[in-house]
Amino acid sequence: MILELDCGNSFIKWRCVNHSGDAGPIGVVKVLEDIEPAAAGDLVRARLVSVRGEAETAELIAAIEDRWNIHVSRARSVAKLGTVRNGYRHFEMLGADRWLAVVAAYEVAKRACMVVDLGTAVTVDLVDREGQHLGGYIAPGLSLMRDQLNRETRRVRYAPMKPNLQALMTPGVETGDAVERGCTLMMRAYVSAQITSARELLGSECQLLATGGDAPVVADLDGLVSMPDLVFRGLSIACP
Ligand SMILES: Nc1ncnc2c1ncn2[C@@H]1O[C@H](COP(=O)(O)OP(=O)(O)O)[C@@H](O)[C@H]1O
Ligand SMILES: CC(C)(COP(=O)(O)O)[C@@H](O)C(=O)NCCC(=O)O
Ligand SMILES: [K+]
């Protein structure tokens, strides 16, 4: 079994994959200690991608190696992987999660594609039909929007609530509804605009892929296909 880890700024996503490529469910944890592989005894190695700092990432790798006595391969943003070429001016500056999602998206789509990853930040990346990464966009994610309102205002306070996509067009009559609907509508409008722009730039046949913890908020938007394991797919290409 191979342990795969995607260390984002908010959460560590993890899963186990067996040698024939069958993957288990994706776990979402805050700390490494909460990772409980079902068949820990069968783990032979790990592969990891991280957008955290170098010191924190090194600590995570050391902790994994110590806990399960396995080698950890780490994926980084590189100039080229397979037929995908990194479009960043300095390729190593592109978030490694974005790079893996782009590599996986093109491998899945085999044509021009747009990838939106709704995590701590919401990232959008574009790849042309030849596999040339064209760059992309970074904006605050939903949880950052909520946190900012909580931090920068005195009275925007409300108990955590479940998102309700059905009520979006009903104006909120309580603070929680007003914030949740406002932030969700902003996110949906932004992603819709990115879809329109991607189709203009890449052609109407471009593949539109969504991933990340908040992808469900936009999953119903025209033509968008949700792929929760996109970064993990890129990780298996980068660290076979
Ligand atoms: N099971 C979950 N646990 C935590 N956050 C979740 C979960 N499902 C959806 N989310 C949402 O996803 C966001 C985190 O997405 P994620 O892609 O894990 O972020 P990152 O990669 O930046 O760590 C959270 O801010 C939250 O709004
Ligand atoms: C933009 C990101 C913070 C997104 O990470 P996440 O939201 O998954 O935590 C990450 O891709 C990153 O640190 N990028 C480096 C800067 C760049 O991509 O230009
Ligand atoms: K992420």
pLDDT band of 220, cuts 50, 70, 90: very high
CA atoms within 13 A on the CB side of 207: 21
DSSP H helices in the chain: 54-68, 96-109, 142-152, 175-202, 230-238
Per cent of the chain over pLDDT 70 is 100
Is 11 near ligand 1, meaning CB less than 6 Å away?
yes
User: Tell me: the pLDDT tens digits for 35-56?
Assistant: 999 988 999 999 999 999 999 9
- The annotation status of 184 as a binding-site residue, yes or no, is no
Q: What is the pLDDT of residue 139?
A: 98
Strand, helix or coil at 198?
helix
Distance CA 48, CA 235 (A): 7
- Residue type at position 10: S
CB atoms within 10 A of CB 93: 9
Please give the pLDDT value at position 162.
Answer: 86
97 is catalytic: yes
- Ligand 2 pocket, residues with Cβ under 6 angstroms: 8-9, 51, 93-95, 97-98, 119-121, 123, 138
Q: Distance between CA 130 and CA 82 in Å, rounded?
A: 12
Question: 32 C-alpha vs ligand 1 centroid, how far in Å?
Answer: 16
- The 3-state DSSP class for residue 169 equals coil
Instruction: Provide, rounded to the nearest whole percent, the portion of the chain with pLDDT above 90.
Output: 96
Quick one: pLDDT at residue 39?
87
Task: Indicate which atom in ligand 2 lies nearest the CA of residue 88.
Answer: 19
Q: Where do we find the tokens 């990853």? A: 117
Q: Mean pLDDT, the chain, as a whole number?
A: 97
Q: Say how far apart CA 195 and CA 91 lie, in whole Å.
A: 24
Q: Which of 22, 42, 66, 97 is catalytic?
A: 97
In this predicted complex, what is the ipTM?
Answer: 0.95
pLDDT per residue over 116-142, tens digit each?
A: 999 999 999 999 999 999 999 999 999
User: Pocket of ligand 2, candidates 123, 211, 231: which has the most ligand atoms within 8 Å of its Cβ, to mutate?
Assistant: 123
Query: Which residue has a Cα nearest atom 8 of ligand 1?
Result: 213
Report the residue among 7, 165, 214 best suited for mutation to probe ligand 1: largest number of ligand atoms under 8 A from its CB.
Answer: 214
Q: What is the CA radius of gyration of the chain?
A: 19
pTM greater than 0.95: yes
- Between CA 235 and CA 217 the distance in angstroms is 25
Q: For residue 185, what are its two tokens?
A: 């509508």
Condensed to tens digits (0 to 9), the pLDDT of residues 166-207 reads: 999 999 999 999 999 999 999 999 999 999 999 999 999 999
Helix H or strand E encompassing 137: strand 133-140
Backbone angles phi, psi at 225, to 5 degrees: -110, 125
Q: What number does the ligand 1 atom closest to the CA of 11 have? A: 23
* Residue 178 counted as an annotated binding residue: no
Q: Kindly indicate the confidence band of residue 226, based on its pLDDT and cuts at 50, 70 and 90.
A: very high
Tell me the three state secondary structure of residue 191: helix
8 lines ligand 1 (CB under 6 A): yes
